[in-house]
């Protein structure tokens, strides 16, 4: 199994500012992902964090809005840029190895005023 | 267009009885299905999975049934316990292992004593 530490656990931010969320995995994993859960909605994949290269974004998500870094196998960051109230969501980091189940961090509850 | 649907947003069950959570999918390329449980302020935790080569998988009190022809799966919890009260997410993946997961919106299960 893998333990995923995600921080901050929650934040309240002003419109127009940016927030960086950190994700640390306690073991080396191949895959890391970032998900978003908007109120009353399912978990939606934002992007796959690739080690040492640009993240792979899903339709509807762009690098300028959600820049992602993954400098090594166990650490990744997601930045929510130029925030608006519509960005208020839970952001979740997940990680795993091929052919194994995904593990999730505890999430970051973001509120944008 | 939701590819994974959980049509019941909530379910109430008495302790000791069976809980049945349902999930439907539309994408015939999905061949790996998972159930996650989520408590408030925590990330989803893996519960049980099933691949498309099987129609049933058991793990203690939890059993997942897959009906490929109907594109339907269900999670049975027997007997239900108050600690099972949580939001349950159905997720599906195409290809081996987890690749990228598509989630349903979740069903909130409340087990009353």
* pLDDT attached to residue B95: 58
Q: Quick check: A40 and B105 CB within 8 A?
A: yes
Q: Quick check: B97 and A98 CB within 8 A?
A: yes
Q: Are A84 and A112 in contact (CB under 8 A)?
A: yes
* pLDDT attached to residue A61: 96
Asked if A88 reaches chain B (Cβ–Cβ under 8 Å), the answer is: no
**Nearest one of B32, B35, B102 to A99, comparing CA atoms:** B32
| B67 CA to centre of own chain | 13
Task: Pick the more confident residue, B53 or B22.
Answer: B22
The residue of A8, A32, A38, A42 whose CB has the most chain B CBs within 10 angstroms, and thus the best one to mutate to test that interface, is A42
* Structure confidence at residue B94 as a pLDDT band (50, 70, 90): confident
How does pLDDT run across A33-89, given as a tens digit for each residue?
A: 999 999 888 899 999 998 888 999 999 999 999 999 999 999 999 999 999 999 999
Q: How far is A84 from chain B (nearest CA, A)?
A: 22
Q: Which two tokens stand for residue B87?
A: 């939001």
Q: Quick check: B89 and A43 CB within 8 A?
A: yes
Asked if A9 reaches chain B (Cβ–Cβ under 8 Å), the answer is: yes
How does pLDDT run across B23-52, given as a tens digit for each residue?
A: 999 999 898 899 999 998 889 999 999 988
Burial class (CB in 10 A: 0-12, 13-18, 19+), B20: middle
* pLDDT attached to residue A99: 67
Q: Quick check: B103 and A105 CB within 8 A?
A: no
Burial B41-80 (b: 16+ CB within 10 A, else e): eebbebbbbbeeeeeeeeeeebbbbbeeeebebbbbbeeb
What does the pLDDT average to over B78-90? 97
């Amino acid at each position: 199994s893998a333990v995923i530490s995600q921080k901050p656990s929650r934040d309240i931010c002003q419109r127009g500012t940016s927030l960086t969320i950190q994700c640390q995995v306690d073991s080396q994993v191949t895959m890391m992902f970032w998900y978003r859960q908007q109120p009353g909605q399912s978990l939606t994949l934002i992007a796959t964090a690739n080690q040492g290269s640009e993240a792979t974004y899903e339709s509807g998500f762009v690098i300028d809005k959600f820049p992602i870094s993954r400098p090594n196998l166990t650490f990744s960051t997601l930045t929510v840029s130029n925030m608006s109230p519509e960005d208020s969501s839970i952001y979740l980091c997940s990680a795993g190895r091929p052919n194994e189940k995904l593990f999730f961090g505890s999430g970051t509850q973001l509120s944008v005023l | 267009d939701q590819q994974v649907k959980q049509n019941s947003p909530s379910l109430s069950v008495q302790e000791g009885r069976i809980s049945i959570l349902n999930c439907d999918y539309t994408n015939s390329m999905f061949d790996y299905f998972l159930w996650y449980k989520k408590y408030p302020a925590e990330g989803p935790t893996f519960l049980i999975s099933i691949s498309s080569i099987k129609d049933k998988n058991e793990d203690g009190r939890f059993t997942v049934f897959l009906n490929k022809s109907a594109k339907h799966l269900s999670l049975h919890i027997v007997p239900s316990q108050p600690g099972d009260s949580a939001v349950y997410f159905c997720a599906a993946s195409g290809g081996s292992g987890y690749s990228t997961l598509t989630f349903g919106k979740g069903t909130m299960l409340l087990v009353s004593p």
